Amino acid sequence: MSMPTAIHWLTRDFRLGDNPALAAAARGPMRSVFFIDAQLLAQGAASRWRLERALRDFDAALRQRGDAGVTILRGEPHELLPRLVAALGAAEVHQSDWPCPAMRASQQRVDQALRAQGAQLVLHPGHLLIHPRLLRTKGGGAYRVFTPFARALRGIGADRPGAGAPPRIPTAPGAGWPQSVALDGLDLAPDLHGGRAVLDAHALPAGEAAALARLDDFLDRASEYEARRDRPDIDATSGLSEALALGEISPRSVWAIAEARRRDNPAAADGIAKFMSELCWREFAWHLLIEFPQMAERAWRPEWAEFPWRGDNADFDRWRQARTGIALVDAGLREMRVTGRMHNRVRMVVASWLTKHLLTDWRLGLAHFQDSLSDWDPAANAMNWQWVAGCGPDAAPFFRIFNPERQAERFDPRGDYRRAWLGPGAAGALAYDATLPPDWRGKGRPPADEGTAAIAAGRQRALDAHAGFRDA
Ligand SMILES: Cc1cc2nc3c(=O)[nH]c(=O)nc-3n(C[C@H](O)[C@H](O)[C@H](O)COP(=O)(O)OP(=O)(O)OC[C@H]3O[C@@H](n4cnc5c(N)ncnc54)[C@H](O)[C@@H]3O)c2cc1C
């Protein structure tokens, strides 16, 4: 029996293994399509730059399996997919579900357009560990607190990964099939700041094979994870966030591989368990975003809508330009501009400085991270910004204010991390300078004692604002 022709709508699932959408399409002749649409162009520059690397790798992987490669098209999926379906005589379009608000809206438009011509959109799991519907409180509601959420998730267990890479991916012939935008010369982030070459030079290897190798290497050294994961001066974490954000590896595969290693290597069991708990944080973030799709725009706790955040201001500008005078904050912001990444502990300190000491709206920080992070993830970014700002569910209380100097003493005890990004002539500092637009150049950082004075003053200002807000 010959299998029907189908389309794989590639979005954020740049992998062959445990990709149920691809597997479903590849049961018969298929085509994989990727759209340069309004949704993609609205994403941040660094995240588009990183996505392009994933796209190139995935295209090569498809070709190795006998496929013609990804067809890249400029335009809106709901306008183009009906034509593509007609060109192939296909009845189904398969997509890995990426349940963020913009994609939900796009899926609805596509589904409507396809139904009008007797075809349909089929959504597949794989982006999350488990279907969010299965994780409900006894009362049937969504979890708002991480600990019981993670307990419930561990109790049910993550879904098992689906099939490995299909051995062959047969290309569907199609007379009216459009020409793909060429990968050669494709630039998905032409608006990237001047540091494209710098980002390229600092990039981690992209693609599925690299993600699997990274996971394997990380699990070998996971016994140190718990003790060292907060240290930005040590390479102690997995570095898998970009790969997870782009679906170069599925969380279910990461979970299953980690679980097996945890059993085989008791010495690393605690470290691996902690790592799996971080995957639960990722899951929690998506769970929250599905429940509250406005999480990137509105405070989770409605009473926080009235908090007197400062809007765009000169302090925010200095923060963006890594010129706050607080060494750990400036080092982190430089790291992000040069590499697209920032250590988690430093992200918390940098975000806390903006929202507490500078009392600046968390949405301004969120937007800057969204534009600058190569691992940008709409759920993790929004949940963490709200967590640090104090307005999210299960968030740090507002009055708990990080002292960035104490954080630095504790987590960068020798000053290696700060020196790497701020030290005169340090490679990180030189790379950072190379990324600067002309109007950011030559503006030094304030002297350290100014920074120290700003810590006490900012803390007091934050506490006063919070007290006034509570009493109002
Ligand atoms: C203000 C702020 C913004 C953030 N924005 C993003 C973002 O846009 N994209 C993103 O992937 N992470 C974000 N994080 C979470 C975290 O900083 C990164 O996931 C982590 O630094 C990635 O490094 P790693 O892969 O080595 O992590 P590991 O320590 O090896 O953790 C393994 C995986 O668990 C997940 N994870 C770890 N910590 C968190 C967390 N706090 N929340 C959600 N998932 C987590 C990631 O997928 C990560 O790859 C943000 C954190 C803060 C404080």
Q: What is the pLDDT of residues 331-346, one digit of tens each?
A: 999 999 999 999 999 9
Judged on CB neighbours under 10 Å (0-12, 13-18, 19+), 465 is middle
Q: If you average pLDDT over residues 201-216, what whole number do you get?
A: 98
Residue 396 has pLDDT above 80, yes or no: no
What's the pLDDT score for residue 394? 78
Asked whether 288 and 244 are in contact (CB, 8 A), the reply is no
The helix/strand/coil state of 107 is helix
* Residue 466 is assigned to a structural domain of this protein: yes
Question: Which mutation among 100, 228, 241 tests ligand 1's pocket best, with the greatest number of atoms within 8 A of CB?
Answer: 241
Considering only CA atoms, which of 55, 60, 4 is closest in space to residue 33? 55
Asked whether 428 and 342 are in contact (CB, 8 A), the reply is no
- d(C-alpha 187, C-alpha 11), whole Å: 17
What's the pLDDT score for residue 101? 97
Asked whether 71 and 59 are in contact (CB, 8 A), the reply is no
**Atom 51 (ligand 1) nearest CA:** 384
pLDDT classification of 193: cutoffs 50, 70, 90: confident
The sign of the torsion formed by the CA atoms of 350, 352, 353, 355 equals positive
Residue 376 Cα: closest atom of ligand 1: 8
* Residue 297 is assigned to a structural domain of this protein: no
CA 185–ligand 1 middle distance (angstroms): 31
- The domain boundary, picked from 240, 258, 291, lies at 291
CB atoms within 10 A of CB 470: 10
- d(C-alpha 235, C-alpha 224), whole Å: 10
**Phi and psi for 396 in degrees, rounded to 5?**
-65, 135
β-bridge partners, 9: 33, 95
**Atom 11 (ligand 1) nearest CA:** 241
Regarding whether 440 and 321 lie in a shared domain, the answer is yes
What's the pLDDT score for residue 32? 98
CA 67–ligand 1 middle distance (angstroms): 34
* Residue 373 is assigned to a structural domain of this protein: yes
For tokens 């930005």, the residue is: 232
Asked whether 114 and 121 are in contact (CB, 8 A), the reply is yes
Question: Which mutation among 215, 375, 386 tests ligand 1's pocket best, with the greatest number of atoms within 8 A of CB?
Answer: 375
pLDDT classification of 236: cutoffs 50, 70, 90: very high
In sequence order, what E strands does 229-306 have? none
Q: Find the CATH number of the domain harbouring 68.
A: 3.40.50.620
In sequence order, what E strands does 108-249 have? 120-124
* Residue 198 is assigned to a structural domain of this protein: no
**Phi and psi for 199 in degrees, rounded to 5?**
-60, -45
CA 344–ligand 1 middle distance (angstroms): 6
Note the pLDDT tens digit of each residue in 272-293.
Answer: 999 999 999 999 999 999 999 9
CA 237–ligand 1 middle distance (angstroms): 10
Regarding whether 381 and 460 lie in a shared domain, the answer is yes
Ligand 1 binding pocket (C-beta < 6 A) is 229, 237-241, 244-245, 275, 278-279, 281-282, 285, 344, 347-348, 351, 369, 373, 375-377, 380-381, 384-385, 388
Question: Which mutation among 254, 274, 282, 394 tests ligand 1's pocket best, with the greatest number of atoms within 8 A of CB?
Answer: 282
Asked whether 386 and 361 are in contact (CB, 8 A), the reply is no
Residue type (1 letter), 86: A
Residue 401 has pLDDT above 90, yes or no: yes
Q: If you average pLDDT over residues 446-456, what whole number do you get?
A: 90
pLDDT classification of 448: cutoffs 50, 70, 90: confident
Regarding whether 414 and 269 lie in a shared domain, the answer is no
**Atom 26 (ligand 1) nearest CA:** 239
Regarding whether 368 and 272 lie in a shared domain, the answer is no
Considering only CA atoms, which of 349, 311, 127, 68 is closest in space to residue 230? 349
What's the pLDDT score for residue 225? 98
**Atom 20 (ligand 1) nearest CA:** 344
CA 236–ligand 1 middle distance (angstroms): 13
Considering only CA atoms, which of 470, 128, 131 is closest in space to residue 301? 470
The sign of the torsion formed by the CA atoms of 445, 450, 452, 453 equals negative
pLDDT classification of 109: cutoffs 50, 70, 90: very high
Q: What is the DSSP letter of 171?
A: B
Asked whether 137 and 275 are in contact (CB, 8 A), the reply is no
In angstroms, the Cα distances linking 235 to 104, 106, 203, 217, 344 are 36, 39, 15, 12, 12
**Atom 37 (ligand 1) nearest CA:** 278
Q: Find the CATH number of the domain harbouring 364.
A: 1.10.579.10
pLDDT classification of 400: cutoffs 50, 70, 90: confident
Residue 469 has pLDDT above 90, yes or no: no
CA 350–ligand 1 middle distance (angstroms): 14
- Where on the phi/psi map is residue 157: left (φ > 0), alpha (ψ -120 to 50), or beta? left
Residue type (1 letter), 246: L
* Residue 169 is assigned to a structural domain of this protein: no
What's the pLDDT score for residue 1? 57
What's the pLDDT score for residue 103? 98
Note the pLDDT tens digit of each residue in 39-87.
Answer: 999 999 999 999 999 999 999 999 999 999 999 999 999 999 999 999 9
Question: Which mutation among 215, 344, 361 tests ligand 1's pocket best, with the greatest number of atoms within 8 A of CB?
Answer: 344
The helix/strand/coil state of 6 is strand
Question: Which mutation among 278, 339, 348, 353 tests ligand 1's pocket best, with the greatest number of atoms within 8 A of CB?
Answer: 278
Regarding whether 152 and 79 lie in a shared domain, the answer is no
Residue 284 Cα: closest atom of ligand 1: 43
Regarding whether 68 and 138 lie in a shared domain, the answer is no
In angstroms, the Cα distances linking 44 to 50, 138, 192 are 10, 38, 9
Regarding whether 319 and 281 lie in a shared domain, the answer is no
Residue 122 has pLDDT above 60, yes or no: yes
What's the pLDDT score for residue 174? 79
Regarding whether 137 and 70 lie in a shared domain, the answer is no
**Atom 24 (ligand 1) nearest CA:** 239
What's the pLDDT score for residue 317? 97
CA 291–ligand 1 middle distance (angstroms): 20
- The domain boundary, picked from 126, 143, 171, lies at 126
The sign of the torsion formed by the CA atoms of 39, 41, 42, 48 equals positive
Asked whether 421 and 432 are in contact (CB, 8 A), the reply is yes
Asked whether 378 and 12 are in contact (CB, 8 A), the reply is no
List strands edge to edge, sheet with 6-9. Answer: 71-74, 30-36, 6-9, 92-96, 120-124
Which residues span the domain enclosing 397? Answer: 302-471
* Residue 184 is assigned to a structural domain of this protein: no
Q: What share of the chain in percent tops pLDDT 90?
A: 90
Regarding whether 451 and 345 lie in a shared domain, the answer is yes
pLDDT classification of 105: cutoffs 50, 70, 90: very high
CA 342–ligand 1 middle distance (angstroms): 9
Domain count, the chain: 3
